[in-house]
Amino acid sequence: MRKIAASEIDELTYHLCVKANCFILEDIKQGLGNALLHSTGRQKDVLSILVENVELAEQTRVPICQDTGIVVVFMDIGQEVMVVDGYIEEAINSGVRRAYHDAYLRNSVVSDPIIRKNTDDNTPAMIHTRIVKGSSLRLIVMPKGSGGENMSGLWMFKPADGVNEIVNTLVMHVKQVGAFSCPPLIIGVGIGGSFEVAPLLAKRALLRQIGESHPEHHIAEIEHKLLEKINRLKIGPAGLGGSPTVLSVNIETCATHIASLPVAMNLCCYANRHCEGTL
């Protein structure tokens, strides 16, 4: 067994929280830059502000967005890893707590969904754990704001519905809610699994680089169709009209039941903040 100290997990979480909130990923920066190059008028004004925003955040180390999110953590633990000197989830929450305090990130978590009292340290993180082969521990930290989350959805289609029905439903949904989020959007779609699996697939789909198609041709085709149709909605950057409305549509799939066709869509703002590290 390989021993990893809980304090190392704490430290890694800390750094990933700060980095994800202040530094945008290169593929997204390029996507935004390309969109700016092809824009005119009001779209150009808005995209220039967004490009300047990410540059400012990086240079002055301030958060890209004031909604520094609830912290979603994807953790892959090698089955040969043994965590010592502490409990994993406490270590992750400690990293979140310290990062949000030290880096002046906003505390955006309430302890009870009905009473709604702020926890004042942005914990707990939403942790999704997989036990995998090997002897390393990988963390992906994704601060997720509510602008996109509140506009996301889950649909339980019938197997008879087919691809067109799915595509039309998702496009109609974005038409209704896209402007409430922060376009140009990155859209994660999860197809298959059981009721709880599809939304998690949708969220994991956001982790794929933008513009990189699904390896399976028939899924890549659906991605392409969704991208085209959603961009034809002309919701535009910041919802102020024009193009682009979406920078990337990423689909992840999973096996499912003979009677089921769950589809989940997770909307994400243009910044799609996340970063990863491995111990």
Nearest-angstrom CA–CA distance, 89 and 168: 40
Element (H, E) at 15: helix 6-22
Kindly state the smallest distance separating residue 58's Cβ from other proteins, in Å: 9
Both tokens of 141, joined, read: 């930290």
Phi/psi of residue 79, each to 5°? -70, -10
Kindly state the smallest distance separating residue 52's Cβ from other proteins, in Å: 5
Which CB atom, from 63 or from 199, has the smaller least distance to other proteins? 63
> DSSP letter at 263?
E
Which CB atom, from 171 or from 220, has the smaller least distance to other proteins? 171
Distance of CA 203 to the CA centre of its chain: 6
Q: Which residues bind other proteins (CB under 8 A)?
A: 42, 45-46, 49-50, 52-54, 56-57, 60, 62-68, 104-108, 116, 118, 120, 146-147, 150, 179-182, 234, 237-241, 269-271
Nearest-angstrom CA–CA distance, 97 and 12: 13
Kindly state the smallest distance separating residue 145's Cβ from other proteins, in Å: 9
Which CB atom, from 188 or from 190, has the smaller least distance to other proteins? 188
Which CB atom, from 264 or from 269, has the smaller least distance to other proteins? 269
Are the beta carbons of 35 and 121 closer than 8 angstroms? no
Kindly state the smallest distance separating residue 207's Cβ from other proteins, in Å: 19
Kindly state the smallest distance separating residue 230's Cβ from other proteins, in Å: 16
Q: How many angstroms separate the Cα of 269 from the Cα of each of 21, 149, 152, 188?
A: 13, 9, 12, 11
Which CB atom, from 253 or from 272, has the smaller least distance to other proteins? 272
